[in-house]
Amino acid sequence: MIHVSSVLTKRRLMSYRLFWNSFKPALQHFT
pLDDT in tens, 1-31: 667 889 889 999 999 999 999 989 888 877 6
The reported pLDDT for the residue numbered 31 is 67
Q: Give CA–CA dist 15/11, Å, rounded.
A: 6
pLDDT given for residue 21 in this prediction: 92
The angle at the Cα of 10, spanning 20 to 14, to the nearest 5 degrees, equals: 25
Map residue 11 onto helix, strand or coil: helix
- The confidence score (pLDDT) of residue 4 equals 80
